[in-house]
Structure 1
Amino acid sequence: MAVCIAVIGKDNSPKFLSCLDPDAELQFHYRVHTSLDVVEEKLSAAGKGGGDVRELYLGLLYSTEEHKIFGYVTNTKIKFIIVVESSNTLLRDNEVRMMFRKLHTLYTDVVCNPFYIPGDPITSKHFDKAVANIMAGNM
């Protein structure tokens, strides 16, 4: 389903990035960081326009010929980015929301671990395996 999933901290530093193709990881780092500008625009527009502040799902941030990039922001300003292939026309908006909800739950489990230091990169093997399951479509 997804080709890349990233968790970005509130200071826009990467906390976790996983890709199906490890050779293209640098390319996905670039795509994820360029999407952060769109995330900031959507957050500031929602704040000014009186939109629903509780809505965490930002939807499609932008698309290229190869990929579609979706965004989600938690209440603590942690950003989740999911990159899917543009050729995947079977993926519905509802399924993307479910992937973000699952990712948010996994992230909450990591942060609640007493041995995790907030702000550090995520190195949990359980989190990595669960993200790989999300990317494979096994939610």
Structure 2
Amino acid sequence: AARVDGDIVAVAPLPLIRAVGILSRHKKPLFLKSYVASREAAHQLAMYTAMDGVDALHKDLSIEACGGVARSPFTGLLQLVDDEKTFGWVTGTGIKIFLVTHDRRLHERSVTTLLEALHVAFADAVCGPFTDVDDPSEALGAAFAAKVDAVTAAAADSLPAV
């Protein structure tokens, strides 16, 4: 609650899941859904700055992969800025999926499950004979945004804190 002109006004709490973003393998933005309208530019910046972590991790993991060690698509926590954490997921085709959450301790397994569900939604949206693999942004319209909303809403209700 906040006080405005002496009156107490209810303030809606910020959502646990703040944003979902997808970058192509060429670092082109394909999708960004910010659940806090005033932070959309900050969430876009978070995606790009998290790329440094993805690039460093991916380089290290690809070296391990040469030694026969399989890598997980989940990158873990990439950055913590103010009260927001950015997690990542790198698909086998180099697509990067980012999740920005409130700075609350979450089970890594819950975040992984959510990113995996977002990856499945992305794959469902772009798997088609006429989808341009290098620029699938045309397949990521309103139907995909609605699917992302459904996945994140369901996850937000079930994400347990540590």
- TM superposition score normalised by structure 2: 0.76
**Which residue number in structure 2 is paired with residue 129 of structure 1?**
146
1:40 and 2:55 are equivalent in the alignment: yes
Q: What is the distance in 1 between the residues matched to 2:148 and 2:99?
A: 11
| Shift, 1:115, TM fit | 4.9
1:28 and 2:43 are equivalent in the alignment: yes
Q: 1:39 to 1:51 in 2, by over 3 A?
A: farther
| Shift, 1:29, TM fit | 0.7
Is contact 1:62-1:69 (8 Å) kept? yes
Letter in 1 for 2:36: D
Secondary structure in 2 aligned to 1:61? strand
1:113 and 2:98 are equivalent in the alignment: no
- Aligned positions, number: 137
Letter in 2 for 1:27: A
Q: What is the distance in 1 between the residues matched to 2:87 and 2:32?
A: 14
Structure 1 alignment gaps of length 5 or more: none
Is contact 1:2-1:134 (8 Å) kept? no
1:5-45 Cα offsets, whole Å, 9 max, x none, are 00110000110000102232111111110000110000001
Task: Tell me: higher relative CO, structure 1 or 2? Use CA pairs within 8 A at least 6 residues apart.
Answer: 1
**Which residue number in structure 1 is paired with residue 101 of structure 2?**
84
Structure 2 alignment gaps of length 5 or more: 1-15
1:60 and 2:60 are equivalent in the alignment: no
Q: What is the distance in 2 between the residues matched to 1:138 and 1:130?
A: 16
Moved more, 71-80 or 50-59: 50-59
**Which residue number in structure 1 is paired with residue 31 of structure 2?**
16
Q: What is the distance in 1 between the residues matched to 2:39 and 2:89?
A: 23
**Which residue number in structure 1 is paired with residue 88 of structure 2?**
71
Letter in 1 for 2:148: V
Q: What is the RMSD computed on CA atoms of the aligned residues?
A: 1.9
Moved more, 67-76 or 41-50: 41-50
Is contact 1:3-1:135 (8 Å) kept? no
- TM superposition score normalised by structure 1: 0.88
